[in-house]
Amino acid sequence: MSNCIDGTLGVNFTKRASRPDFQLGHTVRGNENTLWIYVLAAEAVATGSCTVNTTTYALTDAAGNHTAEAAFAAGEYGWVKQSAGLTV
């Protein structure tokens, strides 16, 4: 299980919410050299590979450069891990 290591309070990578807890696009560092981004699910998204629109931070279930550690219902906010192209 991943944990936030950059000091940002209230981060829970598997929590899904109907109202935003953070600004869309907010990023945090996780253990094991991971980068996480706060998004809004545009549709239901299963766990695993997914895509984030880098302008609107809308999450879709299409395979892409991010990973959802927990499923999203359409309209839910939460965190996804950048799984490719990580720049640290």
Q: What is the pLDDT of residues 2-58, one digit of tens each?
A: 899 999 999 999 999 999 999 999 999 999 889 999 999 999 999 999 999 999 999
Looking at the structure of the chain, the number of domains it has is: 1
Is residue 3 in a domain? no
Is residue 11 in a domain? no
Q: DSSP string of 19-63?
A: S-SS-TT-EEEETTTEEEEEEEESS-B-SEEEEE-TTT-EEESS-
Is residue 8 in a domain? no
The pLDDT tens digits for 66-79 are 999 999 999 999 99
pLDDT at 86 over 70: no
Q: Which of 85, 44, 78, 43 is nearest to 64 (CA)?
A: 85
- Which domain range does residue 32 map to? 27-82
Question: Phi and psi at residue 76, in whole multiples of 5°?
Answer: -90, 150
pLDDT for 88 equals 47
